[in-house]
Amino acid sequence: MTKKPLIAGNWKMNGGLAANQALIGALLQGLDTPSCDVALCVPAPYFSQLKALLEGSAIALGAQDISARPHGGAFTGEHSGAMLRDFGVRYAIVGHSERRQYHGETDEHVAAKVAAALASGITPIVCVGETLAEREAGRTEEVVKRQLAAVIHVNGHCLSEIVVAYEPVWAIGTGKTASPEQAQAVHAVLRAQLQHAAGDHAAGMRILYGGSMNAANAAELLAQADIDGGLIGGASLKAPDFLQIIAAAR
Ligand code: PEP
């Protein structure tokens, strides 16, 4: 089954009106017709600016989170799927380890957010990954399977619409990347789990790698059989680096 890789940038809590304009200008100047799908998950206050800057380009707009609740009501600080759709948001990162760690998001909460994204026609990029302590205790497989199982349990009927991102927590923002072999081993576990739940559809689903992916290591990671793209934090803030990663995804 053929599938286009997806390269998604996660700006995290970075950006500024002037800096965004410069970064998007440089990206669009350097981007021909990419052979992969490209998205940028930006802070919500910049949706309006980014919607205008990305109009008609090959870069889709993404969010870094989404409310688990349907639109409307007394939920201070939340952003509904309908709000995201108003700005043309196509992807939403869900269950990033920073949300799990600093905002107490549980597997069940993440699963509910995935359902909310799907109900709004937004593709969730569902993050799973183990901490260093969990890896060292030999619990990597158990942890990522548990995290994905919660999502499958709630969203099994439309599983093929989701994107999964394997992001070992110890590799995020640390400069430590999983080796291509380490990453592929976990991706194969996740693929098998998806296969069990979604049958033949699993082969067409995208499993991204995230965790200090950069211009130097992207090609080798993306060459692995079950790595179908990348979720990129730090390197997505530098146009030449992000462009090189996009070029490596074919
Ligand atoms: C991320 O934020 O999802 C991420 C992978 O960050 P970094 O590329 O900076 O490790």
pLDDT band at 180 (very low <50, low <70, confident <90, very high): very high
Answering whether pTM is above 0.95, one says yes
* CATH tag, 6-248: 3.20.20.70
* C-alpha span between 186 and 163 (Å, rounded): 15
Per-residue pLDDT at 2 exceeds 70? no
pLDDT tens column, 143-163: 999 999 999 999 988 999 999
Task: Dump pLDDT digits (tens) for 34-67.
Answer: 999 999 999 999 999 999 999 999 999 999 999 9
CA of 49 to the centre of ligand 1 (A): 23
pLDDT at 1 over 60: no
Mean pLDDT over the full length of the chain: 96
Q: Is the CB–ligand 1 distance for residue 97 below 6 Å?
A: no
**Polymer length in residues for the chain:** 250
Atom number of ligand 1 nearest to Cα 171 = 10
- Catalytic residue list contains 142: no
Given this model, what pLDDT does residue 77 score? 96
Residue 32's pLDDT is what?
A: 86
Structure tokens at 154: 């709630």
Is the CB of 213 inside a 6 Å radius of any atom of ligand 1?
yes
Active site residue 167: yes
Which sequence spans correspond to the domains of the chain? Answer: 6-248
pLDDT at 156: 85
The verdict on the CB of residue 173 being under 6 Å from ligand 1 is yes
Among residues 96, 98, 105, 134, the one annotated as catalytic is 96
196-240, pLDDT tens digit by residue?
Answer: 999 999 999 999 999 999 999 999 999 999 999 999 999 999 999
Question: If you measure from the C-alpha of residue 95 to the centroid of ligand 1, how many angstroms do you get, rounded to a whole number?
Answer: 13
172 lines ligand 1 (CB under 6 A): yes
Question: What is the DSSP annotation of the chain?
Answer: -----EEEEE-TT---HHHHHHHHHHHHHH--S-SSEEEEE--GGGHHHHHHHHTTSSEEEEES---SSPS-SS-TT---HHHHHHTT--EEEES-HHHHHHH---HHHHHHHHHHHHHTT-EEEEEE---HHHHHTT-HHHHHHHHHHHHHHHHGGGGGG-EEEE--GGGTTSSPPPPHHHHHHHHHHHHHHHHHHHGGGGGGS-EEEESS--TTTHHHHHTSTT--EEEESGGGGSHHHHHHHHHH--
pLDDT of residue 157: 87
| Max Cα distance, the chain (Å) | 48
